[in-house]
Amino acid sequence: MTPIEILHQDDAFIAVNKPAGLPVHRSAMVNDAEQYLVDVLREQVGGNVYLAHRLDRATSGVLLVARSSEIAAALGEQFMGRDVRKQYLVVVRGWPEPAEDVIDYPLPGSRETGLRREARTRYRQLAAVEVPIALGRYPQQRYALLLAEPESGRFRQIRKHLAHIHHPVIGDCQHGRGDHNRLYKQHFACHRMLLHAWRLDFRHPASGAAMTLQAPLDREYAGLLERFDWVDALP
């Protein structure tokens, strides 16, 4: 496998640009993959690594991995305490109205029948496009590029919240629209979910210094932004 892109590395932690489609670790929900990020990274950097947080298998972007269990716990406290600012780039079906809002809708955990807890996601539309491709009863299709900031950390929060307001993430097989997912595969050669952990703002777990890390988009996602003339809209 191609080495995982490292965004930052020191004695305390490593920040990587997680590829879409690569599960972070083996779990009860994901145990059929050929490779897992923690195993690949352990071999790549030499030595043990400890997850500080998670990203969905289909999501790409900034992921923090500690070099010790103590540092993992310190980073985990920042995430649990909502002291980390998380920004995601996401392509959705339709044009949300209003173009900037907060989705405040309680969500369950990994089990849909579980207890629902408060969950808030802030979003802002960065760009929009209308493509002349017929689908269903519409001769043209509308899509938008959003900057999404989850204020809580529920399971698949951004995906569920955007589906809740009827603007699902393109490429989301669980909560999205299969017809639009197929359109992106057939017309745009896009075979991934268009959700990317773009930027993290947090404190260094050892020094306490303020840090901002940003993950570049992969070729498939970046090519789509170029096709839609959305590159200049990136924050």
Residue indicated by tokens 């923090």: 64
Chain length of the chain: 235
Residue indicated by tokens 């992106």: 184
Calculate the alpha carbon distances from 60 to 29, 85, 192 in Å: 18, 17, 10
- Tell me if residue 83 is catalytic: no
Count other Cβ atoms within 10 Å, centred on residue 32. 7
209: Cβ–Cβ under 8 A, 6 or more apart, which residues?
A: 203
Count other Cβ atoms within 10 Å, centred on residue 81. 8
Partners of 199 in the β-ladder: 87, 214
Q: Identify the CA nearest to 4 among candidates 68, 78, 87, 61.
A: 61
Could you say which of 56, 83, 104, 229 is catalytic? 56
Q: Per the structure block, which two tokens stand in for 206?
A: 């050892």
**Active-site residue set:** 56
